[in-house]
Structure 1
Amino acid sequence: MRYVITLWAAPLLLFWGWFGLSFYDINFGYVILSRQLHDLVFKLYGEVLGIDPDTIPLLLVRACIFDAFFLAAILAFRRRRQIGEWMRARSKTSVLED
């Protein structure tokens, strides 16, 4: 599961790092980090998808949040016994405290 999360998070970190730097035009002299390339990439994606390029970042945020919840659900399902034991132990201590 560690590898799945790593393989999921690495491209996201690369993309959002590029997005943040290119959005604010912090390019360090690299064309790939320039605002002009940023606008060109999203214009191209917008034309391919047939949608407004300004909506693409919001769609990507929503997809990343969905993926994060999906991976969290898979992780919770895989560790359901430990989570159940933790919840039972916690409920016993809260009953004793009352």
Structure 2
Amino acid sequence: MELDMMTSDDLTAMATLDFTKINDGWLNTMPNDLLGAELIRKCAGKLYVSGDCDKILDNMKTGRVTIKKAHERTMRALHQAFANKNHLECTIEG
């Protein structure tokens, strides 16, 4: 699995999810709960999601996964920093 290749302690990720483009029958299953929770864990909550962060987190919290509260707080804070902005600036170091 590609997530196994993500081993950096400084990992930060971005995921796009446009609920207006998803078929109504799939809205409550996006993103995949297991995949989303594992990505949040790998990033220690440093996952930026475009779209409704609260709705995305709610959809991930199922009986199959647990998301640490600290990771949720980090994710919400990161998302809040970019609320109402139409672009992101980032630096990629290699």
Relative to the length of structure 2, the TM-score reads: 0.26
Which structure has the larger Rg over C-alpha atoms? Answer: 1
Comparing both chains, which one has the higher relative contact order based on Cα–Cα distances under 8 Å and sequence gaps of 6 or more? 2
Higher helix share: 1
- Write 1 or 2 for the structure with the bigger share of strand: 2
Q: State the TM-score, normalizing by the size of structure 1.
A: 0.26
